[in-house]
A and B are shown apart, each in its own frame.
Chain A
C-alpha cells in the first residue's frame, strides 16, 4: 500500500484541490440544516416572511456554488486517478520489460497480464472513488459534528460521544472484512482451479471413469467457497444495521435532552431539528460503507500484487560494455565447462559442457526432450547466466558485454513462433527498425517465404494476427526465420525452427542459410537436417554425450545410431555400414 501511495506524491497539489472543492460541496451540504433552522426560527416562527425568502435564496445560491465546486472536483479527481493509473501502469510495464527470464519464471505470463490490466484498473478506480466518495464519509462526520457544535454545543455533545465508537467499529470492521475477503478469493481460485483442470482433462476423466471423484472434489471446494462467501458478505452486511443503530440512538438522546433544553431555554426548536438533521446526514454518508469495505479490500489485494512485481529485483547484471564492437565480427563460440540450473531449482540442467565452434560453422544439437537443448540455447543471448564456466564469443566472455550489444549480434528463432499484430513487412522488419525494403525481401527470399508472401492478398502489406489472416505453421516458422535473418546476425539460433517444413523446403532453406557468413546453431530432431551440419552436439541428461560430424557420430555413438535407425529404418543403417 505504501508503494502505491508514493505514486500519488506527484499529484499532491491536485489531490488537495480536489479535496478542497469537495469540502466546499460538503460545507454547503452541512450548511443546509443550519439554513433550514434559520428559515424556521427567524422566519416561520417569527412570522417574518422576508427572512424565509432571504435564507431560501442563500440556500439556492449555495446549491449552485456546490454544483460548480463539484464540477471542478470532477476535473481534478479524474486527473489524479487517470494520471495515477497511467504512472503505475508505465512503471509496471517498464519493470516487466527489465525482467530477466528467471524473473519471468516466477510470474506466469497470464498473471503478469492481469496485474498490468485488471489490478491497475482496480486501484485506479479506488483512488477515484476515494477522492469522490470515500473521503466524504469521514469529512462529513467531522463537518457534521463541527456544525452541530456551531448550532448548539450541548446537543452536539451527543453526536461527539458516538464518534469514537463509530471510528473504532469501522476500523475493526474494515480489517476483519479485508481478511474475510482474502479467504474468499483463495477459495475462488481453488474452485476455478478444479474447474479448469476438469475442462482440460475431460477426455481422460471420462476414460478413467473418475467423474464421481471429480464431482466430490468440486463439491468440496465449492461448498467451502460458499461458506466463506456467506461469512464475508454477512459480516459486511452486519456493519450497516449496527451503524444505523448507533446513530439512531444518538438521535434519541438529542430528542430527549433537546426537549429539556428547549424548555429550559437553552436551545430553540430549530436547533434541535438541525442537530437531528446532521445526525441523519452522517448516517446516510455512512451507508456507502459496505461498498467501501469491499472496494478497499480488493484494492489492497491488487496493490500487493503490483508491489510484488515492482519489488522484484533483476538478477542479471549488465556488463560494463567496454568491449569495442569491432572486435566481435567473427562469430566463434566457446563453451568452457558450462554448468547451469534454473534459479530456485535443485536439479542441474546442464553439466560441464565444453565445445568450440569456429566462425561460420553450422552446429546441429540433438537430444531427447529435457536433455537441455533449449536451455543451452538460452545461455548464448544471456537470457540466463551460467552457474559455472563461461561462454566466449570471439574470445570475449559474454558477461562483460552490454546485454544489448550482445543480443544485437544474435538472430534468435524460438521453438514457438511468435508473430505480432501488424503487416508481414512490419513483422520481418521487427528485428531491425531501419531495414530497407530490399533487406526485407532478401531475408524473405532466403527464408523461402517470399513466394508465399507474394500470393497473399496484399503481399508484404497483408495484416497478420487476430485481425488479419492466419498463416500455416510452416509459413509462420519461415517468417520468424526471415525476421532473424534481416538483422544479418553474427550468430543464428534456430530452435527446432524447421519442424513444420517439408523436407524439400527445409533443404532449400538450409542451403540458403549457407549464404550468410554467420555461425548457425540449430536444434533439430531430424537426422536429415543434422547430416549437413559441420558439427553435431548430442546431449543427454544435460551432458554432452558426443560431438563430431555425421559420419563420426554414426561410427562412435550408439544413441546416434539408434536415432538414425529409427528414422531411416534398419536397412539404411546396414546400407551405410556396408558402404563403409
Chain B
C-alpha cells in the first residue's frame, strides 16, 4: 500500500534549467508560426467575407449573449437586495419574468451564434478544401514532382482540420472572452472601484506564477516531445521492418529497446504533465484568494455601510467571470496561432502559379491522323540549364518512335512537351500540321493515351478502372478491351470478376496484371497517339514476354512513342531516337544504328555484355 502511495514521488527528477538546450529546438520550431500574419488573415477574411451578413449576425449575438451573461447575476443581486431582503413580493413578481426572459434570450443567443458560426466555418473550410483540390488539378505537373504526397496530404487534412476547429469554436470563444472581460471589469468598476482594485491585485501574482510554471513546462514538454518522437521513430521502423525482425527472430530485442524508450517517455511525460497541472490549481487558489479578499474587505465596507450586501454578492460573481476569460484567452491563443500557421500553409499552395490557360484562339481538333513533328524544340526546367536542346524529328501516322538514352537525357520531358504538361521555350511541336500551342489542351489529350511505368489504379471495381479510359463505354466495350489486352482471362478468375473491388494500390493482383489493366484502359480510349513511358520496366522479363502481344495489338495503327530502358523492347521500332543530355545524338532503325557503330551501338553492347559476364 505504502509503495503504491509513494510511487508518484519516485520518478527521477528531471533537470529543469538547461537554457542552452531549450533555446535550440525553439529556433527550429519557429517556422510553425505564421510568417505573414496580416497577409494570411486577409486571405482568411476573403474566404469568410462571403458570409458577411451571417458574420454580422454572429457578432451581434456574441455581444448580446455576453451582455446578457453579465446582466443575469446583476439582476439576481438586485432581486436579493431590493426584494428578498425587504420582502417585496410584488417587485419580485415583476423582476422574475424579466430575469426569465434574460435567461431564455441568453440561451437562444448562445445557440444562434454557435449554429450560425458553425455554418460559416464549415462552409469556409469546404471552400478552402475544394479550392485546394481544384488548384491541385490546375498546377503544372512539375509541382508534384518536387513534393511528397505525404506532405501535401497533411496540408489537406491536419492544417484544414486545424482551421476548421478554430473557426468553429475558438473564434467565438475568443471574442466572447474579450467581451466578457471588458464587460466584467466595467461593471466591477461601476459597482465598486475599490473592490475592483483589490481584484486586480491577483494579476501580478498570476503572471509571476504562470511564468514560473511555463518556464519549466516549456523545457519538459520539449523533452517529452523528443522522447515521443524517438519512440514513434522506433515503432515506425520496427513495424515497417517487421519482416526482418521476424526473420531474424529479434522480437525480444526490439521489445527491450521499446521498453527503454517507453520508460523515458513516461518519465518526461510525468513531469511535464504534473507541472502543467499546476496551472489551473494556481488559477484556482488565486481566484479563491481574491474571493476571500472581496468578501472580507467587502464585509468591512458593508459594515461601515458604504456598500450593500447585494453588491458583494454580485461582485464576487463578477470577479470569477473576470479570471475565467483570462484563462481561456491564454489557452485559445496557442490554438489560434497554430491555426493561422496552418491556414498560411494552405494559402501557400493556393498561391502557386497555375498551368497557363489555353490561348484565346486555340482550336479544337475533332480528328487526328497522328502525324507528329518536333521542330527545333528546346526547353529547360530551370533557366540556363537546358533539358532539351534543339530537338527535331518527324513521325508519320502509325509509326512507332522509340526514345533511348541514359537517365536524365530528356526522354520523359519530350513526352511532357508533346502532351503539353509543359510548353517548349523555343521551337514548336506540330500534330497533323497544327502547332499544339494553338490547340486546346483537352482536345489534344483526348487523342492521346498513356501507359505509364506505374500502372496507377483507383479504388473501385475492375470495370470502373478500365472504363476510366472512356467514361461512356458500354460493358461490352470494356470487356472487348480487356480481351484485346489479354486481361480478360485473369479478370474472370477474380472473386467477383469485373466487379471485383481493387484497393487503391491494386493489392490483390500482380504488377503485370495491373499493367494489363492499364493497357486495356488505353485500348478503350482508342487514341491516335499512344505514349508508353517505361511501360514494362517495373515488370520482370517473364511477365513482359506475356504482355508483349497485348502491347503489339495496342500499338497497331497508332502513332506510338515508346520510352524503354531495356533495348530489346525497342528493337522493332520504326525509328529510334538516341538522346544524350537533351540532344539527339543519332536516329534510325535498330539495324541502321548498330551499323553506325555510335552511341547506340555502345549502349546496346554494354547491356548485352553485362548479361554474359555472369556465365
Contacts and interface: CB of A to CB of B under 8 A. Distances in A.
A366 to B, nearest CB: 7
Interface stretch (B32-40, B310-318, B337-345, B374-382): B310-318
A63 B540 CA distance: 76
B76 A251 contact: yes
Interface in A154-191: 188, 191
Contact of B419 (A207, A230, A258, A262): A207
A61 to B, nearest CB: 9
- By size class, the interface of chain A is 35 or more
Nearest to B141: A203
B239 A96 contact: yes
Interface in B70-102: 72-73, 76, 79-80, 83-85, 87, 89, 92, 96, 99-100
A229 interface: yes
Contacts of B92: 255-256, 259
A343 interface: no
A552 interface: no
B108 A369 contact: no
Interface string A233-261: 11001101110110011011001101110
B133 A528 contact: no
B300 to A, nearest CB: 6
Contact of A569 (B80, B300, B512, B568): B568
Contact of A200 (B129, B149, B324, B468): B149
B13 interface: no
Given A197-B459, A368-B543, A59 B255 contact: no
A451 to B, nearest CB: 19
B251 A506 contact: no
A403 interface: yes
A355 interface: no
Given A14-B4, A209-B442, 10 more contacts: A60-B288, A78-B274, A79-B270, A109-B239, A132-B277, A199-B149, A200-B456, A210-B471, A269-B309, A528-B613
Given A13-B1, A44-B299, A507-B613, A86 B114 contact: no
Contact of A269 (B80, B299, B495): B80
8 closest A-B pairs by beta carbon, nearest first, are: A370-B510, A528-B614, A74-B277, A70-B281, A56-B296, A63-B288, A412-B247, A52-B299
Interface in A417-476: 418, 420-421, 430-431, 433, 466
Interface centre among A53, A211, A245 (most CB of B within 10 A): A245
B104 interface: yes
A43 B612 contact: no
A79 B7 contact: yes
B103 A531 contact: no
A43 B301 CA distance: 12
Contacts of B421: 203, 206
Given A75-B274, A263-B89, A222 B245 contact: no
A370 B312 contact: no
B157 interface: yes
Contacts of B546: 368
B511 A369 contact: yes
Interface stretch (B49-57, B117-125, B178-186, B189-197): B117-125
Given A207-B419, A566-B541, A418 B241 contact: yes
Contact of B611 (A60, A96, A193, A528): A528
Contacts of B449: 207-208
B273 A81 contact: yes
A341 interface: no
Interface stretch (B15-23, B229-237, B556-564, B573-581): B229-237
A207 B285 contact: no
Contacts of B239: 96, 109, 112-113, 116
Contacts of B284: 25, 29, 66-67, 70
B333 interface: no
A397 interface: no
B114 to A, nearest CB: 4
Contacts of B493: 347
A263 B85 CA distance: 9
B26 interface: no
Nearest to B313: A273
A112 B80 CA distance: 61
A202 B137 CA distance: 8
A559 interface: yes
A559 B80 contact: no
B132 to A, nearest CB: 9
A214 interface: yes
Given A369-B510, A566-B544, A207 B459 contact: no
Contacts of A367: 542
Contacts of B157: 188, 192, 195
Contacts of B123: 226
A83 interface: yes
A214 B309 contact: no
Nearest to A112: B239
B163 interface: no
B98 to A, nearest CB: 11
B295 A78 contact: no
B595 interface: no
A527 interface: yes
Contact of A93 (B137, B258, B281): B258
B114 A237 contact: yes
Nearest to A77: B277
A262 B84 contact: yes
Interface in B297-348: 299-300, 302-303, 309, 312-313, 316-317, 320, 324
A98 B295 contact: no
Contacts of B76: 251, 255, 276
A47 interface: yes
Contact of A370 (B4, B324, B509, B611): B509
Interface in A344-367: 345-347, 366-367
Interface string A98-124: 110100100001001100110001000
B110 interface: yes
A244 B106 contact: yes
A89 B613 contact: no
Contacts of A32: 288, 291
Contact of B144 (A199, A248, A527): A199
A408 interface: yes
Given A526-B611, A528-B612, A563-B542, A14 B122 contact: no
A317 interface: no
Interface string A272-310: 110011001000100000100000000000000000000
Interface string A38-73: 011001110101001101100110111011001101
A82 B153 contact: no
A418 B240 contact: yes
A30 to B, nearest CB: 12
B474 interface: no
Contact of A82 (B130, B269, B509): B269
A182 B386 CA distance: 53
Contacts of B9: 75
Contacts of A218: 130, 133
A81 B110 CA distance: 34
Given A74-B281, A237-B118, A418-B240, A223 B126 contact: yes
Contacts of B403: none
B122 A255 contact: no
Interface string B187-222: 000000000000000000000000000000000000
Interface centre among B141, B259, B274, B568 (most CB of A within 10 A): B274
A63 B280 CA distance: 13
B250 interface: yes
Nearest to B287: A63
B133 A563 contact: no
Contacts of A52: 295-296, 299-300, 303
A58 to B, nearest CB: 9
B189 to A, nearest CB: 22
A142 interface: no
Contacts of B144: 199, 202-203
